[in-house]
């Protein structure tokens, strides 16, 4: 039996492209929309190559309500996964209005059109950033949210609230917010992966670019934190595992297994890994030496956070499967692929 169709906004981006692959693998049809502001058609081509499916792509900005409405008129999807958003924490501090306008308008437009066209299911990309610096580890979905420390983080909290209030008010609308921990790695085919523009702000792209000789030296931001080796701790989740969590969320809504119309799930491995551990693991698994130095702390960094993913394990039937070694090998394979290295 043919499964239903899913609209993936931001489907040319890092997580969106991997999720599209997993949706197709699970038998769904997909329509991608993306304004290509921070993404590339190469990702869509990679997805088409991996799946062998000529997935429809519409270049549209979700903030353009009229343009976006045409997509709803043209395609019969009943679920939406909304990735399209600006995502650089530092940039959001410099450009707060752009972040609020883009991230909130596009999300409200999605919900507006879903109501107008009677499309019931939405998955929203949230982030563990909503927990701030948690008092207790690991964090569960019940761990209180902390006031956001950046406009970016604030848009994640506000969109969660918009979703909660919308599903409460509008009969027939169901929503799941997935709170991602730190997504890393690439598809095992090395045909899609992360494509940061300019100098990478995130750890793993900086590591792979350093290993490829594009960056001279990785700065490890701080080794004097109150952690076992002094560097910060995160929960690094493989992007393919993360993509599969979206498929599980869509399935749950379609099969009507929700306990309520609005649900939240942590999507992480449950394991905390320090920056220095990650660096050494990367060196070991890829058999290379990374040029790195200890640098001062980066302003605004959380000391440590990792997930309790029990709820996603039991309710979504989803679990992170790939090992850190597999993930770090895939990140390096991808970097070599885009640089034309052997
Ligand atoms: N780090 C370095 N050197 C670098 C880059 C990062 O040491 O060049 C360290 C950071 O200090 C931090 C860890 O690596 O301790 C992870 O940093 P990332 O920038 O990769 O990720 P963050 O945890 O800071 O941020 C990520 C997402 C955000 C999201 C946040 C939620 O990028 O979008 O998780 O906590 F908001």
pLDDT tens digits, 34-65: 999 999 999 999 999 999 999 999 999 999 99
As a dihedral over the C-alpha atoms of residue 29, residue 125, residue 238, residue 295, rounded to 10 degrees, the angle is 150
Answer whether 301 contacts ligand 1 (Cβ < 6 A): yes
Nearest CA to ligand 1 atom 26: 182
Structure tokens at 242: 């993360």
Tell me: the pLDDT tens digits for 263-283?
A: 999 999 999 999 999 999 999
Average pLDDT over residues 186-205: 96
Q: What's the confidence (pLDDT) of residue 273?
A: 98
Please name each of the domains of the chain with its CATH number. 5-184+236-268 (3.40.50.720)
Q: What's the confidence (pLDDT) of residue 166?
A: 98
Cis amide bond preceding 138, omega within 30? yes
Asked if the model's pLDDT at residue 1 lies above 60, the reply is no
Separation of alpha carbons 59 and 41, rounded Å: 10
Q: What's the confidence (pLDDT) of residue 257?
A: 86
DSSP class of residue 312 equals I
Asked if the model's pLDDT at residue 132 lies above 80, the reply is yes
Helix (H, G, I), strand (E, B) or coil at 157: helix
Choose the residue to mutate in 148, 196, 275 for probing ligand 1, maximizing ligand atoms within 8 Å of C-beta.
Answer: 275
Nearest CA to ligand 1 atom 16: 203
Contact (Cβ atoms closer than 8 angstroms) between residue 123 and residue 175: yes
Nearest CA to ligand 1 atom 36: 129
Segments of 143-291 assigned E as strands: 174-180, 182-184, 218-221, 233-234, 236-238, 262-267, 273-274
Choose the residue to mutate in 157, 227, 234 for probing ligand 1, maximizing ligand atoms within 8 Å of C-beta.
Answer: 234
Answer whether 117 contacts ligand 1 (Cβ < 6 A): no
Q: What's the confidence (pLDDT) of residue 127?
A: 98
Of 115, 138, 119, 117, nearest to 128 by C-alpha is: 138
Separation of alpha carbons 23 and 240, rounded Å: 11
Q: Given pLDDT bands bounded at 50, 70 and 90, which one contains residue 95? A: very high
Contact (Cβ atoms closer than 8 angstroms) between residue 193 and residue 331: yes
Active site residues: 152
* Percent of the residues in the chain that have a pLDDT greater than 70, as a whole number: 99
Q: What's the confidence (pLDDT) of residue 3?
A: 73
Q: What's the confidence (pLDDT) of residue 2?
A: 61
From the CA of 203, how far away is ligand 1's center (Å)? 6
Q: Given pLDDT bands bounded at 50, 70 and 90, which one contains residue 208? A: very high
Q: What's the confidence (pLDDT) of residue 342?
A: 83
Nearest CA to ligand 1 atom 4: 203
Tell me: the pLDDT tens digits for 224-252?
A: 999 999 999 999 999 999 999 999 999 99
pTM: 0.98
């Amino acid at each position: 039996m043919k499964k239903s169709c899913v609209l993936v906004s931001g489907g040319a981006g890092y997580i969106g492209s991997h999720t599209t692959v997993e949706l197709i693998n699970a038998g769904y049809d997909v329509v991608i929309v993306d304004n290509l502001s921070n993404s590339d058609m190469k990702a869509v081509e990679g997805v088409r190559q991996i799946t062998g499916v000529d997935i429809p792509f519409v270049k549209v900005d979700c903030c353009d309500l009229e343009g976006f409405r045409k997509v709803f008129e043209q395609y019969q999807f009943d679920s939406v996964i909304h990735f399209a958003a600006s995502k650089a924490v530092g940039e959001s501090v410099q450009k707060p209005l752009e972040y609020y306008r883009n991230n909130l308008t596009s999300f409200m437009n999605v919900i507006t059109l879903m109501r107008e066209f009677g499309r019931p299911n939405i998955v929203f990309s949230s982030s563990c950033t909503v927990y701030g610096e948690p008092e207790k580890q690991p964090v569960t979905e019940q761990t209180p949210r902390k006031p956001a420390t950046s406009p970016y983080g604030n848009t994640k909290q506000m969109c969660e609230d918009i979703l909660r209030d919308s599903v409460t008010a509008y009969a027939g609308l169901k929503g799941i917010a997935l709170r991602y921990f730190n997504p890393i790695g690439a598809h095992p085919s090395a045909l899609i992966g992360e494509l940061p523009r300019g100098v990478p702000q995130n750890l793993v792209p900086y590591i792979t670019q350093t290993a490829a000789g594009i960056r001279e030296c990785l700065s490890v931001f701080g080794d004097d934190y109150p952690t076992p080796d002094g560097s910060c701790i995160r929960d690094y989740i493989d992007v393919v595992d993360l993509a599969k969590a979206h498929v599980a969320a869509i399935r749950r809504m379609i099969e009507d297994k929700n306990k309520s119309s609005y649900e939240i799930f942590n999507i992480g491995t449950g394991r905390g890994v320090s920056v220095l551990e990650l660096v050494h693991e990367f060196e070991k698994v890829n058999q290379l030496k990374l040029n790195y130095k200890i640098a001062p702390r980066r302003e605004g960094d959380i000391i440590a956070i990792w997930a309790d993913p029990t709820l996603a394990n039991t309710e979504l039937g989803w679990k992170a499967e790939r090992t850190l070694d597999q993930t770090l090998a895939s990140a390096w394979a991808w970097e070599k692929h885009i640089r034309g290295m052997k």
